Structure 1
Amino acid sequence: MRSDARRVRRALAAGAVALALGLTGCAAGTDYATQTASTLQHGVLEVATAAQAGDLAGAQTKLAALAKLNDAALAKGEIGSDRHAAIESSIVAVRADLTQLQDQAEKERLQQQLRQLQQQQQKPDQKGKGKDKGKGGGEGGDG
């Protein structure tokens, strides 16, 4: 589990860096206003915070909201098409990473569930054998 947590943090860090690179230059006012940059950067922080907390579904939701902010900024003329494309590209990469992490987490959850079911299945067999010996007759008799 600890290696999974590390993997999530690494993927999160890589994704945050990719998103940040898409936003690079915004604070200096190169492509867009400081307010727009701040709004988008806040969105990146929300995605990173949710992912780091292990809330991958929440991170996906916040990433979708960030994509909408990016699209709205382009539509309003607050960012240029090049900057929009760079941010969108980063969002796509982070979305793919989050989806992969969600798939891995779901696979691990299902494997754990299977192990638990197998253990439960083995326990009643052992207990059931001992109980049946002392109960002559009872349920399920053929005759």
Structure 2
Amino acid sequence: MDTPGVWARVRAFTRGERDAHTLYAYRRAGTQIHPMLDAAERRRFELLVSGTGPFAVKRHVGLELAFAWNAFALQTLGDKMLEADEAANPGTAGFVPPVAFDQVQGYDEQVQRWLGFASQAADDPEFDVPASTLPATLPRWSRWSRVPDRTWTP
């Protein structure tokens, strides 16, 4: 993401939008999910080819897959929301409405936790789910209808 220009900053300021610099940093950090998910899926495929069904895998392998997929889903939700805002409002790319910022940050803050759990499960056959982990809590859903009217541009 290029640094927003002066006019983008002025537009964003007049609309009450927040700088998405932090969210872009989360996006970059979350790219580590892809190799981890690929490795977990390769392991799952190898088990499938060997005739091991999904209910016969070792507990830690199942946990690794579940945790990696949780991280992937949260990362994807945050990334797609940022992309949607950029596409809908290219004039303020690099800034997002507060409601969108809070929603994306809520997803992004959980990605590293799930990646950590997936990594632990992959490396430790004795790893078990921390009691406070499940059920997973999603960030409170914000009503997008509260986003200010974006048809007006200064």
What is the TM-score normalised by the length of structure 1? 0.37
| Structure (1 or 2) with the larger CA radius of gyration | 1
Higher relative contact order (CA 8 A, sep 6+): 2
What is the TM-score normalised by the length of structure 2? 0.35
